[in-house]
Amino acid sequence: MSQSDFKQAPHKLLLIPGPVEVADDVLLANAHPSMSHVSPDFVPVLGDCIRMFRDVILAPESQPIITAGSGTLGWDHVASNVIEPGEEALVLNSGYFGDSFAECLEVYGSKVTQIKAPIGSKPSLEEVEAELKKKKYKVLTFTHVDTSTGVLTDAKALGDLVKRVSPETILVLDGVCSVASEEIRMDAWGIDVVLTASQKGIGCPPGLMLLAASKKAIKAYENRKTKPNSYFSSWSKWLPVMKAYESGTGAYFATPPTNLIYALHASLTTITKGKTSIEDRWAQHIAVSDQVKNFVKDLGLKQLVADPSKDGAHGMTAVRYPEGLKAPDVLPKMVARKIVVAAGLHKECKDEYFRIGTMSESVVNKERGDIDYLLKNLKEALEEAGYRK
């Protein structure tokens, strides 16, 4: 067979907030023959990925780091390179992932203060401003989209706030569930670290941690009084390696996951050099998100996000089960229709809702018809479970 004939095997439609459906060319790239990680064939592939990642988050000034891992590993990068033991971190908590980022920061010695919002909402700018004025925070972290709740935090407003109130604070955007599906203008908004993973908006299989650091974040790392207190996440190791790959020469610290880098190259090429701009891509995600949110509203269902028009993410929707129905009444009926959506994740209410992921391939490749198929079957599954509006 010719490589260009490759089509992925038939499978259930995956519409969870990551991993997401992946294009055939990305999967074929993941089946690339083995390559030396320091060969002249491979080095520019990773170099291109570094450059293209900057284009996805509009961050020409930033230094990306791309390694094997997952979004979780991005927290270790922040906690062990940007902030030092004993320094203060402010964590904005809009769901499960705020708790976890806070825990990671504490493992590496940060003193953490959290502003916890009620489930389905986010800390207000007024609360954040008041807290930033109380003491000198080395870092401020927020979950751009909390995958457990579907709450979107206003990154631009936080960038403006930090510039105005606490300009030395390193502003960290956890973009695991937002990069390439939500508007992010890292440089213009004054974001200092964007961290993410490969299996959501970027449209790749899971297995990669992607991070970008501003000049301010790099300076904070360079000005450390103590050495980075992790090894696999240490910027003293990765910064020279990333610079070497970008300049076209290989370097070694840990073997890069070469096949996933080829897959990433394919997906980033589509995102940054395809027919549509990154702005168009954000707009496509908004349109599909609106379509899903309006559909569930018309069905008479409520969302976990208190005010979806203001705080709702555009790559996922967290939907409350209608009264009387629970996960076992609904999710297996979706699976029977060859659709996988996700159960709830937030520990305080995980049995009360389910999550629909609408990112990347299912959104931008209209020919697949994934969204129409989802909505038609969601309605039928609920009706079969006995739900009437």
Site of interaction with a second copy (CB under 8 A):
1, 3, 5-12, 14, 16, 18-22, 27-28, 30-37, 39, 41, 68-73, 75-76, 79, 103-104, 107-108, 197, 199, 205-208, 227-234, 252-260, 340, 342, 345
With tokens 């609904």, the residue in question is 330
Nearer to a second copy, 16 or 155 (CB): 16
DSSP state of 180: T
Closest CA to 86 of 62, 112, 60: 112
Nearer to a second copy, 253 or 373 (CB): 253
CB of 71 to a second copy, least distance (A): 7
Nearer to a second copy, 173 or 339 (CB): 339
Q: Are strands 88-93 and 342-343 parallel, antiparallel or unpaired?
A: unpaired
CB of 249 to a second copy, least distance (A): 12
* Rounded Cα gap, residues 178 and 206, in angstroms: 15
Q: 197 - beta bridge partners?
A: 209
The annotated binding site for substrate is made up of 355
CB of 238 to a second copy, least distance (A): 11
Nearer to a second copy, 19 or 322 (CB): 19
Give the amino acid at 128: V
Closest CA to 314 of 17, 14, 13, 99: 17
3 state SS of 320: strand
CB of 14 to a second copy, least distance (A): 5
- For 154, residues 6+ apart whose C-beta sits below 8 A from its C-beta are 122, 125
Q: Decide if 256 contacts 64 (C-beta within 8 A).
A: no
* Rounded Cα gap, residues 173 and 221, in angstroms: 17
Q: 171 - beta bridge partners?
A: 140
Nearer to a second copy, 236 or 291 (CB): 236
* Rounded Cα gap, residues 327 and 188, in angstroms: 42
CB of 181 to a second copy, least distance (A): 15
Nearer to a second copy, 128 or 288 (CB): 288
CB of 215 to a second copy, least distance (A): 25
